[in-house]
Structure 1
Amino acid sequence: MIRVLDILFALCGLIFGSPVLVVLTILGLFDTGSPFFRQTRVGRHQRPFTLLKFRTMRPDTASVATHLADASAVTPLGKFLRRSKLDELPQLWNVLLGDMSLVGPRPCLFNQTELIAARAAQGVFEARPGITGLAQVNGIDMSTPDLLAETDRKMLADLSTTTYFRYLFMTVLGKGSGDRIRKS
């Protein structure tokens, strides 16, 4: 049932959100010259997939976990996109393709070996990664790998249609802060 909801909401989001996608793409061209950010992430069963987001940092920024990135790399448009969570909008395409779910553990980078090991030990990679979830609405980011993996496991163990909608509503209402960027 959750996969059906993912497809339905991703399609609706892409169709009805297309004017916003177009405007943000144009603004991104002026901001960085490259509005989309593509990065290989760890997916279900630890298989790689290409995550798509709106670019929020300069194109020459090192490919590291967000909590390790320098705050000075975030562009003016990027600050707005991160604060409003609109940088995540292109991930609806990842959801539609089946690489992600709307609700699930945030996908990590392959160089985040401590988090990968913690998640593997908790069985988290049996699920599709998601745009939001229990950790995100509670402000738990990838800087605390063991806590994040444990929180992801708890979320997946209790995931139902009801909790799926709860995490989506909490995210839309602004709960959680997303991954923190270190101060420069």
Structure 2
Amino acid sequence: MLMMERVKLDKSKVQGRFIYHFFKRALDIVASACALIILFIPGMVLAFLIRHEDHGPSFYSQERIGKDGKPFKMYKFRSMIVNADQLVDQLEAQNEINGAMFKIKDDPRVTKIGHTIRKYSLDELPQLWNVLIGDMSLVGPRPPLPSEVEEYTDYDFQRLSVTPGCTGLWQVTKRNDANFDEMVELDLDYINHSGFWYDLEIIFKTIGVMIHPNGAY
């Protein structure tokens, strides 16, 4: 098996791009605000369908780790049974991804409607609120769980040097076909080469992935 070449993160370059960060934040605010308004009624319909299936809550919140290790509460449409978090330990042996991440292709915790909204990434739409208030960006590394960060090496911690995103290079390329190490490499490659037009390219590719899913589960 070939070893992936490790990406070296240029932190001074990442932190010093003030004009890019200004326009990136402006895009986040305008795009997330517009999307929340446009998707309000469809979102309420989806929320009703989720609640109607098993009478549980429509929305789900979970603590995630953001930029520089700062914790925040991330929002999603609920796609799993109500007590899904309590069943992780029982399913650990079925984890299909090596490293500090937990994923099962045929996860028994996912509800019927959950399979559909996860396939088309509709469960992620409430994160537009996280983008609007500044916890997340439209584009960036996915925010990890605290338990995942506990397993991070110093190299892995580099992906926490920027604001996490709703989508990123990992999601529009390999997505769930990537293992943890490949995800880290893709995230660091994005951070090193990030730019306003690159972000727009990833956003448009994300829309395409939502229409034609590339391995989501």
User: TM-score, with normalisation over the residues of structure 1?
Assistant: 0.88
Aligned-pair RMSD on alpha carbons? 2.0
Distance 1:80 1:139 in 2: 20
Distance 1:20 1:141 in 2: 27
**2:170 matched to which residue of 1?**
135
Contact 2:33 2:132 in 1 (8 A): yes
Query: For each residue in 1:16-43, what CA deviation from the matched residue of structure 2 results, as whole angstroms up to 9, or x when unmatched?
Result: 1101111011111112321111000111
| Residue 67 in structure 1 maps to residue 103 in structure 2 | yes
Letter in 1 for 2:63: T
Letter in 1 for 2:134: G
| Residue 56 in structure 1 maps to residue 79 in structure 2 | yes
Distance 1:21 1:11 in 2: 14
Where structure 1 has 5 or more consecutive residues not aligned to the other structure, the ranges are: none
Change (3 A) 1:110 1:69: farther
**1:99 matched to which residue of 2?**
135
Distance 2:203 2:168 in 1: 8
How high is the sequence identity, in percent, across the aligned residues? 35
> What is the CA-CA distance between 1:88 and the residue it aligns to?
0.7
Of 147, 160, 163, which residue of structure 2 is paired with 1:111?
A: 147
> After superposition, where does 1:70-85 map in structure 2 within 5 Å?
71-85=107-121
**1:9 matched to which residue of 2?**
31
**1:148 matched to which residue of 2?**
183
Distance 2:135 2:80 in 1: 23
Contact 1:118 1:145 in 2 (8 A): no
Where structure 2 has 5 or more consecutive residues not aligned to the other structure, the ranges are: 1-22, 89-100
Change (3 A) 1:153 1:11: same
User: TM-score, with normalisation over the residues of structure 2?
Assistant: 0.75
> What is the CA-CA distance between 1:141 and the residue it aligns to?
4.3
Letter in 2 for 1:177: G
Query: For each residue in 1:66-95, what CA deviation from the matched residue of structure 2 results, as whole angstroms up to 9, or x when unmatched?
Result: 505861211111011111211111000000
Letter in 2 for 1:6: D
Letter in 1 for 2:156: R
Contact 2:177 2:215 in 1 (8 A): no
Distance 1:142 1:34 in 2: 30
